[in-house]
Structure 1
Amino acid sequence: MEIVIGNGRVWRLAFLLLAFQPAAAVARSVDTLPARVDRLGFWSPSEQEAGYRAMETIFPTTTIEAGDVIRALPVAETPLEIDFVYEHRPYTIDDFMKANRVSGLLVISGGRIVVERYGLGRKPDERWTSFSIAKSVTSTLVGAAIRDGRIRSVHDPLSRYVPELKGGAYDGVTLAQALTMRSGVHWTEDYNDPASNFSRYATQMGPDFYRRMSALPRDATPGAKFYYSTAESNLIGAAVINATGKSLSRYLSEKIWKPFGMEADGVWMSSPEGLETGGICFSATLRDYGRFGLFMLEGGRIDGKPVLPDGWIAEATARHAESGFGDLGYGYQWWVDPNGAYRGIGIMGQALFIDPKRKLIVVIQSAWTRAGGPERYGLQWAFLQAAVNASDRAAAAAGH
């Protein structure tokens, strides 16, 4: 699929409509959760507004436990003013939030909150689901497992940690190739087609699912072709679970959530057996997404102690693959900007943007009525650029 945005750049990644298949369904107000849902991607706007903040009441989840000590996020005395023009129309922060159905917007500059806004009736203590930003968190746990000696190297075969993959399409595929979506295993990430690989496999976990993935065809040499695959991220999550002997939620809690000082428990969508889907849907408060961004900005260290291997963040956010999605490359489950910034992206308007050079973090959480599209992404990316520009102006005015 090709999508053209206002500046003429072509996007080819098929961000259409996400489809899940469990529990519950039809809400008519923000206060009423979906009670019978065939596909998460087809929730009405009011169902999105209720369900995205309460996923644990609809789907099986595990809990990412927070600790007793909360890391403070100081608020800057002077907020950051962000105004911009997109497609010949001027936008303020409020205009952007309304147009893109934003439920939470957080900008942290130099460790201080310079913008914090909520929409769609959301409160600061409410979680919001991440969709594919979960992939970026899962890849960070791979780094932690390497630091802990549980995973030897990203150059190990994935089947070393998920033995059900031996003898099939993933034979010889390394963790690094899976992390960069270059396994060569054929995959269709079409959210709108019930017969696509995504619709059949993306929410599954467990040995039967791993064997089904192994039975898929391979149509490229490992490392040669980029296929965006949510289920491949689930396999990466399975590698972490098997290598550490812990759930993703427990491992994340022990390595980052508690020691870094997240303010609230998170939750992670899982299979009925409690195996988290490494590619989709962990949920947290807006500020805790920002704290995760700070963890990355601070080099994956907590109280001076490394959680990740030396050089991991630079390697994970390097441009290992060309994605065809705007001008973004792809790293270890992170999207990589040409200027050295990087971001986690989730459909329906989720973003975690990190600019190490400027010490800038932007978190956007939304409820788009479609998974993507040029108008929605174009406006979001224009806002991110405007936040960068506003940060530069503020630094210049302060003489930095």
Structure 2
Amino acid sequence: MAGWVRRTGIGLAVLLVLLGAGWVLIGPDWRALLKNPPVGRDVLFWSQAQRDAGFRMIDRVPMIVGSRPVTAGDAAYPLPDGKPLDLGLDLDAYLTSQRSASLIIVHNGQVRLERYGLDFSASGRWTSFSVAKSLTSTLVGAAMKDGYINSLDEPVSTYISGLKGSEYDSVTIAQLLTMTSGVAWNEDYEDPHSDVARFDLQAPVEGVSTVAAYMAGLSRAHPAGEQWNYSTGETNLIGVLVSEATGKTLNVYLSEKIWTPFGMEQDATWLLGQDGREIAGCCIQATTRDFARFGLFMLAGGVVDGESILPEGWIAAATKKQADINSPGEGYGYQWWTWDDGSYQADGIFGQGIFIDPNRNLVIASNASWTSALGLRGGEWEARREFYRQVQRAVDRDKMD
């Protein structure tokens, strides 16, 4: 532990306050963290052991700038047990190969399967990574319903003054949502010099979010609206847009519009960037059950107690193919990955996901610690894709029995 204190520059007295005087008696999460302490904020370059330890408690790691709570209400949306779902596969082998921390399948509102691994549990919070993008985009819909945003055809710089005079003057909110701005951005997770690795290092600029300051300096690669390019930076801009338009921090607005009224069971947290704003493209920490509840919120049409949180037609537009991603049968909506069979997904690096199939009234929420960000080297991504298909087939067989 002393070596960790030296490397991170955290004083021992401060660390003991953070851990509590009885740190020797702390639970397995902290013991794992102390054994494999993550160094710095850049999770892309943590080791496997650091990721295993850190993903379950990234909002409590002393090196991280901080987080804000997304408060839940008093009554939780029920998740009753249903008949166990026979998947017709070696589930233990699949979960082991995925390095799975959690998996829950909810069909027709009932939990048909729920499993945990890596010493994680139903009460623990796991970080979402880019799953947060789909929640952030949903807040745009809420802000339109509330009258804070007039139209998706408005220029982004109408709401984010720090972008005026940049390439984003010619980019609409819709193009930002679909990642078709045409502004250059490098999302290579294994390149320490890529934009996704560097944007968090942007020096503060007085009166401007650091995200807007970084993005305003980017050049144009294509005309706006013509080509899709995945950009976490643009989701971070969406978060700035929502907070500027509503006058509320993202954690408060998410709690107000979804987390409390729909009935999430536990408080979540949202990590902050260097400028003290929520990192909108990443890092909501929540229980896997509450991520599944967000899927149920989408299946319910964004309606809570008979009141729609979103504009009419929002979910249909958000979850259909709005941009061609050069992959047959797939597309990109408003920060949702779409499939031509009508299903759609929130997806995060290292194995986080919420898969939603409206035709089958099905939600699959899962968290993992893959061996690489995209799960390509170890084959985890392709295996999870096939797992979704097997769950769909199992649901179809179940209906026929």
- Any residues of structure 2 matched to 1:327-366 within 5 Å, and which? 327-366=329-368
1:364 is aligned with what amino acid?
S
2:18 maps to what in 1?
Answer: none
1:391 aligns with 2:395: yes
2:40 maps to what in 1?
Answer: 37
2:52 maps to what in 1?
Answer: 49
| 1:89-144 C-alpha deviation (Å, 9 max, x unpaired) | xx422111101101000000000000110000001100001110110000000000
Is the 1:138–1:236 contact (alpha carbons within 8 Å) kept by the matching residues of 2?
Answer: yes
2:87 maps to what in 1?
Answer: 82
Q: Structure 1 CA distance, aligned partners of 2:229 and 2:335?
A: 12
1:252 maps to what in 2?
Answer: 254
Q: Structure 2 CA distance, aligned partners of 1:365 and 1:121?
A: 13
1:17 maps to what in 2?
Answer: none
Q: Report the more deviating stretch, 175-184 or 191-200.
A: 191-200
2:227 maps to what in 1?
Answer: 225
What is the aligned counterpart of 1:189 among 177, 187, 190?
Answer: 187
What is the CA distance between 1:208 and its match in structure 2?
Answer: 4.1
Q: Structure 1 CA distance, aligned partners of 2:49 and 2:31?
A: 5
What is the CA distance between 1:203 and its match in structure 2?
Answer: 7.3
Q: Report the more deviating stretch, 263-272 or 245-254.
A: 263-272
What is the CA distance between 1:243 and its match in structure 2?
Answer: 0.6
Moved over 4 A (4+): 202-206
1:160 maps to what in 2?
Answer: 158
Q: Report the more deviating stretch, 189-198 or 125-134.
A: 189-198
Secondary structure at the counterpart of residue 68 of structure 2:
strand
Q: Structure 1 CA distance, aligned partners of 2:184 and 2:348?
A: 22
| 1:267-320 C-alpha deviation (Å, 9 max, x unpaired) | 111124431011111110010001000000000000110000000000001101
TM-score relative to the length of structure 2: 0.87
What is the CA distance between 1:43 and its match in structure 2?
Answer: 2.4
Secondary structure at the counterpart of residue 352 of structure 1:
strand
Secondary structure at the counterpart of residue 389 of structure 1:
helix
1:124 maps to what in 2?
Answer: 122
Is the 2:183–2:219 contact (alpha carbons within 8 Å) kept by the matching residues of 1?
Answer: yes
Unmatched tracts of structure 1, length 5 or more: 1-21, 84-90
1:382 aligns with 2:382: no
Is the 2:38–2:50 contact (alpha carbons within 8 Å) kept by the matching residues of 1?
Answer: no
Number of positions where the alignment pairs a residue of Structure 1 with one of Structure 2: 367
Q: Which has the higher helix share?
A: 2
Q: Structure 2 CA distance, aligned partners of 1:187 and 1:246?
A: 28
1:310 maps to what in 2?
Answer: 312
Is the 1:102–1:118 contact (alpha carbons within 8 Å) kept by the matching residues of 2?
Answer: yes
Distance 1:288 1:366, change over 3 A: same
Higher relative contact order (CA 8 A, sep 6+): 1
Is the 2:350–2:375 contact (alpha carbons within 8 Å) kept by the matching residues of 1?
Answer: no
What is the CA distance between 1:42 and its match in structure 2?
Answer: 2.7
What is the CA distance between 1:45 and its match in structure 2?
Answer: 2.9
2:227 is aligned with what amino acid?
K
How large is the RMSD of aligned CA atoms in angstroms? 2.0
1:93 maps to what in 2?
Answer: 91
Q: Structure 2 CA distance, aligned partners of 1:221 and 1:183?
A: 8
Q: Structure 2 CA distance, aligned partners of 1:174 and 1:81?
A: 46
Q: Structure 1 CA distance, aligned partners of 2:323 and 2:150?
A: 23
Is the 1:130–1:282 contact (alpha carbons within 8 Å) kept by the matching residues of 2?
Answer: yes
Distance 1:209 1:37, change over 3 A: closer
Distance 1:326 1:106, change over 3 A: farther
Is the 1:203–1:231 contact (alpha carbons within 8 Å) kept by the matching residues of 2?
Answer: no
| 1:139-194 C-alpha deviation (Å, 9 max, x unpaired) | 00000000000011111111111111111111120010010000000111111112
2:52 is aligned with what amino acid?
E
Unmatched tracts of structure 2, length 5 or more: 1-7, 11-28
Percent sequence identity over matched residues? Answer: 43
